[in-house]
Amino acid sequence: MALDGLSRRDLLRIALGAPFMGLAPRLLSGCGPGRGVPEGELLDFGRARAHAALRDSRGMTLANMPADIARERRGVVVVGGGVAGLAAAWRLVGEGGLGERGDVLVCELEDVVGGTARAGRSELSAFPWGAHYVVAPFSEDRAMVRLLGEMGCFEGVDRHGHPNAAEGAAVRELEERHFFEGRFSAGLYPGDGETAEEKAERERFGRRMDALAGAVSARGRAFTLPVSQVAEVDGVDAAALDRMTFAAWLEAEGFRSWRLEWLCDYACRDDYGTSAAACSAWAGLLYFIARRRPEVGLEDRAVITWPEGNGRVVEHLARQVGATRIETGAMVLDVEADDAGARVLVVDRAGRARVIACDSVIVATPRHVARHVVRAYREAPPAWMDAFTTAPWVVVNLHLSRRPETVGVAQAWDTVFIGSASVGYVDAQHQRGRDHGPTVWTWYRPLFEAGEVRKQCEAVGREGWVEAALSELELGHPDIRRCVVRADVGRLGHGMVRPVPGLRRHLESARVAPHPRVRVAHTDLSGVALCEEAVDHGLRAAEEVLAARGGDVRSWR
């Protein structure tokens, strides 16, 4: 019968005016605690166990294990349960089992699978801890078409044969908004107050991207996803683009508008965790071009997302693989192989070590993990190894009791703040269609700056990162502190591979298997961290294993 607390308070404010508000009992206040940092937890993704393993298990290898160590037989062991590892297992399982030589086992260090695509869940909402969207693939990316098709993300194909994102799968409008000069506006480009000159430059940039998107040769495209389908095209010097930074390319092309510069820098930080000044021009252009096609009207492809982000993809893959083929909390310390077979040294959740003998191993970890795990890498580190560097990320999940106030455009999936070091936040409930009430906002901050950022990332505790997030969001949402009921922080010390200039030329060598029985798969082998790439490498490694076993393997790629 009576109105709830908030509306009463509002009514008081309206009826009585500010001078009388002191009379209103504090009880009538509608939101949670207004001061101090809200409670929550700090997650350090894999760090504790991985670093402890490095420290404590030094010297613990397959070579010096006691003779009575537990032994087990498997067909294929996949090291790492992120998207690449799960995609590899999905492919192997999809082949109809591996026969009498044993099944697949995925070993994941953490307690949950997903890697940087994992999701969290609370009473309020499911929410992402990392990657949170995929772009609707073109028909040539058969792996993603298959995967997202299984997940029910498409409805029919367009007249070029490209799948159409289903209405409930494609991100709901409004997709993006930005905060600039005191208000929110639609889109990512800060267009308020744009001069004629800046406008002309923006349009020229669009035309330049369109031209590059149309750069096709008989063998394929200059820029596309997955990058394994990239082909040499006359007029696009990929090697030269890989040597220079994206910032230098923009400069050389005469793009000087701060607005455009901001957009490009944001794009690099958002997708790659690096600034435009540290990102290769090739990777920077890939961001803008891989999702454009002249024949589909040069419109950007639809973005597909879920409340829990790419955690949905992880969940689907894990279900297809089957729980019995996945072991979490399983730390792989050593991988070696010879002509007779491969062996994997695993320490399980309870701390018991065992050796798994198998036909093949797929090492689906990033390079900085593989170099410690794979014996061949340990003993003779390849020259390309040091070319791989990673960017740390901090993710703050803000659990809100209600939506904070906004000025300007309301309700978007992705919100960015112009001029900020963060890449903004996504609203977990947007895609569900819930525009009011509780939700979770996931705020992302790549530590793209030069120097000892990993130490910085660790030195700043949970409260520090929550404060960093809140003081930024407060600019556009003055009452946010009164809406936050919980704030969890995830620190991803090695969040993403950094596509720095010069990395691309090492990728081919890095993809080469260290041994015919030890295959490698991970998105970092593409030099960029993208779901499409992780899936592509997972399938490639799995199909390499299948091919080695002989028989007719029809590729899913």
- For other proteins, the binding residues (CB under 8 A) are 1-4, 6-8, 10-20, 30, 165, 167-168, 170-174, 302, 402-403, 410-411, 432-437
Please report how close the Cβ of residue 178 comes to other proteins at its closest, in angstroms: 16
Q: Indicate the DSSP class of residue 153.
A: -
Please report how close the Cβ of residue 303 comes to other proteins at its closest, in angstroms: 9
Give the span between the Cα atoms of 331 and 53, in whole angstroms. Answer: 8
Q: Can you spell out the DSSP letters for 279-330? A: SBHHHHHHHHHTT--GGGTTPPPPEE--TTTTHHHHHHHHHHH-GGGEEET-
Cβ proximity to other proteins: between 149 and 502 the closer is 149
Please report how close the Cβ of residue 155 comes to other proteins at its closest, in angstroms: 10
Give the span between the Cα atoms of 504 and 508, in whole angstroms. Answer: 8
Cβ proximity to other proteins: between 122 and 164 the closer is 164
Please report how close the Cβ of residue 109 comes to other proteins at its closest, in angstroms: 35
| Exposure class string for 427-455: b at 16+ Cβ within 10 A, else e | bbbbbeeeeeebbbbbbbbbbbeeeebee
Give the span between the Cα atoms of 405 and 456, in whole angstroms. Answer: 32
Cβ proximity to other proteins: between 126 and 212 the closer is 126
Cβ proximity to other proteins: between 436 and 554 the closer is 436
Closest CA to 470 of 404, 536, 546: 404
Please report how close the Cβ of residue 433 comes to other proteins at its closest, in angstroms: 4
Please report how close the Cβ of residue 169 comes to other proteins at its closest, in angstroms: 8
Using CA atoms of 494, 500, 502, 505 in order, give the dihedral in degrees to the nearest 10.
60
Give the span between the Cα atoms of 138 and 273, in whole angstroms. Answer: 25
Cβ proximity to other proteins: between 167 and 552 the closer is 167
Please report how close the Cβ of residue 428 comes to other proteins at its closest, in angstroms: 14
Sign of CA dihedral 148, 149, 155, 156: positive
Please report how close the Cβ of residue 470 comes to other proteins at its closest, in angstroms: 21
Please report how close the Cβ of residue 21 comes to other proteins at its closest, in angstroms: 10
Cβ proximity to other proteins: between 145 and 170 the closer is 170
Cβ proximity to other proteins: between 175 and 271 the closer is 175
Going along 150-222, which residue ranges are E strands?
Answer: 154-157, 163-165, 176-180, 183-186, 216-217, 220-221
Give the span between the Cα atoms of 239 and 237, in whole angstroms. Answer: 6
Distances (CA, A) of 537 to 89, 91, 154, 363: 12, 11, 23, 11
Please report how close the Cβ of residue 189 comes to other proteins at its closest, in angstroms: 17
Cβ proximity to other proteins: between 7 and 195 the closer is 7
CB-side neighbour CA atoms (13 Å) of 429: 19
Q: Can you spell out the DSSP letters for 490-504? A: EEEEEEEE---TT-G
- CA 5 and chain centroid, separation: 40
Please report how close the Cβ of residue 289 comes to other proteins at its closest, in angstroms: 22
Burial of 59 (0-12, 13-18, 19+ CB in 10 A): exposed
Cβ proximity to other proteins: between 259 and 403 the closer is 403
Cβ proximity to other proteins: between 283 and 400 the closer is 400
Cβ proximity to other proteins: between 183 and 402 the closer is 402
Q: At CA 17, angle to CA 437 and CA 410, rounded to 5?
A: 30
Q: List, in sequence order, every residue forming a beta bridge with 280; answer none if it has no partner.
A: 245
Cβ proximity to other proteins: between 206 and 408 the closer is 408
- Tell me if 297 sits within 8 A of 119, measured CB to CB: no
Please report how close the Cβ of residue 8 comes to other proteins at its closest, in angstroms: 5
Going along 181-283, which residue ranges are E strands?
Answer: 183-186, 216-217, 220-221
